[in-house]
Amino acid sequence: MSAGARVDLPQWFDQARFGAYQVRVVVLCFLVTTFDGFDTQAIAFTGPALAQALGVGPRGLAPIVTAGVAGMALGAVLFGPLGDRYGRRAAVLWATAVFGVFSLLTAFASSIEQLMVLRFLTGIGMGGAAPNVYTLASEFSPARHRGLVMLVAGLGLPVGAIVGGLIGGSVIPAWGWQGVFILGGVAPLLFLPLLWVLFPESPYYLARRDRQSALAAMLARVAPSAPPAADSVFTLPEAPTRVGAGALLSPALRHNTLAIWGTYFFNWVAWFGLVLWIPSVLTAAGLPKAQAGLATVTLNGAALVFMLPLAWLLPKLPVRRVILWLLVGAVVVSLLLAQAGSRWGLVFALVGLSGLFVGGPQIALNYLAVSIYPTAVRASGVGWAIGMGRVGTVVGGAAGGFVLEDFGPRGFFIALALPLLAAGLAALAVRRADASPR
């Protein structure tokens, strides 16, 4: 390392003004997750039309849903470590290319088997983008804004789902279910050249790799009115840590790693069981198919509205306690939905509350996961946590169809309460829940 004044990189970001360069980074992260969110939930709002075209019921759709979320689980655990080893930028670019290409190819599938393979491959890209986007956004942010920055970066997931739900009603009658996947593939592929030009590398990654000249040039763009001194050497306030999944289970990290994995897993069983099946559940309860997409819009729109103040407050709140109270509320809302029947005003109000109580722990868990892992394994830690969550989506996605077909809408909502209770128990085991990410 070259000689010069040593500067703690997180402290530099904490003291710097949050400027236009960082806003651009967050917007790019938001756009990546928007395309990701559209493609992730494409199978939900095309579900009724796809089932009709294939001549199957919820049980027949379950393997296609499961294949997609299985790919997401694999993508998260593959691309998180890749981001730690080779950079967040490369991982995000490759993940975006993967889910764009295979979403486009999904439109040309002609059998359940082809759909399963293509949704699995699309899922690898979708699962791979998220951990690196969250990690990179957090590493460009001062501690005082980190909760909000991570929320905005991840808001693309519900926004993409909302856009898909709103346009699906027009696209599917005109182009068939295939039109949704064409849009889901073409849009990120057209965006990819812009991402190649504008998307930066993580400053923490550059510091860990001792790429001081590249880091200094980047920080001069972050703070053009107060650039770092030419001889500054930026350091990270953490002991060297080996890279890779094995480090997550080292004695220092094992307890929190297992507790967070459990919380992600069970919360995502419930959340993705809900978002992937809510149109079909309400259709089975008597809601006209033409209005089924509004359930996706309501669920994700409410999550969007509720998560904004939540993310603003997260740095000031005991994060683990927030997660626990949200999960308690989620259990109550699920049991109320089981009793709501076809009173659609009440049903949609409760679906909206599910966006807060079932979906709210998502943003809090991402903040929590970033906070407990050092830079060298941060994308791996977030990636494996999200990967465990994606394993939960496999369970939720697969079980949702079987539970709906065998027990109906009321049984579906009662069953939803079980993984939410388990998520609460896992969250109780998390230590150092309110640490600030450094």
Helix (H) or strand (E) holding 64: helix 58-86
Q: What Cα–Cα distance (Å) separates residue 280 from each residue in 39, 348, 404?
A: 18, 14, 9
Distance of CA 258 to the CA centre of its chain: 19
Token pair for residue 233? 């050497």
Tokens 């003004």 correspond to: 17
pLDDT in tens, 417-427: 999 999 999 98
pLDDT in tens, 6-21: 877 888 888 888 889 9
Contact 358, 420 (CB under 8 A): yes
As a whole number, mean pLDDT of residues 301-322 equals 76
**pLDDT level of residue 375 (50, 70, 90 thresholds):** low
**pLDDT level of residue 147 (50, 70, 90 thresholds):** low
Residue 376 and residue 240: Cα distance in Å, rounded?
A: 8
Q: Quick count: other Cβ atoms within 10 Å of Cβ 329?
A: 17
Q: What Cα–Cα distance (Å) separates residue 127 from each residue in 93, 384, 386?
A: 13, 10, 8
Helix (H) or strand (E) holding 326: helix 319-340
Ramachandran bin of 271, using left for φ above 0, alpha for ψ from -120 to 50, beta for the remaining angles = alpha
Contact 195, 179 (CB under 8 A): no
Angle at CA of residue 338, ends 333 and 341, nearest 5°: 120
Residue 118 and residue 125: Cα distance in Å, rounded?
A: 11
pLDDT in tens, 89-126: 999 999 999 999 999 999 898 888 898 999 999 999 98
Q: Does residue 384 surpass a pLDDT of 50?
A: yes
Residue 335 and residue 344: Cα distance in Å, rounded?
A: 16
Residue 288 and residue 282: Cα distance in Å, rounded?
A: 8
Per-residue exposure over 132-169, b if at least 16 CB sit within 10 Å of its own CB, e if not: bbbbbbbbbbbbebbbbbbbbbbbbbbbbbbbbbbbbb
Q: Does residue 277 surpass a pLDDT of 70?
A: yes
Token pair for residue 137? 């956004």
Q: Does residue 232 surpass a pLDDT of 90?
A: no
> What pLDDT score was predicted for residue 266?
94
328: Cα within 13 Å, side-chain hemisphere = 7
> What pLDDT score was predicted for residue 435?
41
pLDDT in tens, 365-374: 877 777 777 7
Token pair for residue 40? 């992730």
**pLDDT level of residue 436 (50, 70, 90 thresholds):** very low
